[in-house]
Amino acid sequence: MFSHVMVGTNDLDKAKAFYDALLGTLDVRPARVDGHRIMYLTKAGIFMVSKPINGEPATHANGGTIGFACSSPEQVEAWHAAGIANGGKPIEDPPGVREGGGIKLYLAYLRDLDGNKICAMHRMV
């Protein structure tokens, strides 16, 4: 459904270090640097982090969340731990099972270095 997702940053080098560590837990290769942005290329799509082209400061989306698919609860835990170790801020409930509407998920939430809300999610069967 999506070709790519992009969030803003005010410090590309710090964002690259953060997301390289975080997405490395999902077996995603380190970012490719392309001028004012970094790109994580996967078969499922592209995740990008960019300095705003208009030169204004990057801000996070109020109410927005970017979710990363995980293959297991252990991968969610590794993602969360890597995020905290690299400066991310844990938010909401601790990582764990959430159920509702007949769906069972294992979730973890963080704010990245620029305040973007990100989530790791494993769909449990």
pLDDT in tens, 64-103: 999 999 999 999 999 999 999 999 999 999 999 999 889 9
Output the pLDDT for position 62: 84
Closest CA to 113 of 41, 48, 29, 17: 17
Contact 16, 31 (CB under 8 A): yes
In whole angstroms, give the CA distance from residue 78 to residue 110: 13
pLDDT at 119: 97
Amino acid, res. 19:
Y
- Class of the CATH-defined domain 4-52+64-124: alpha beta
* Measured distance CA(47)–CA(66) in Å, rounded: 10
Domain ranges, ordered by start, for the chain: 4-52+64-124
pLDDT score recorded for residue 67: 96
Q: To the nearest 10°, the Cα dihedral for 34, 76, 4, 48?
A: -20
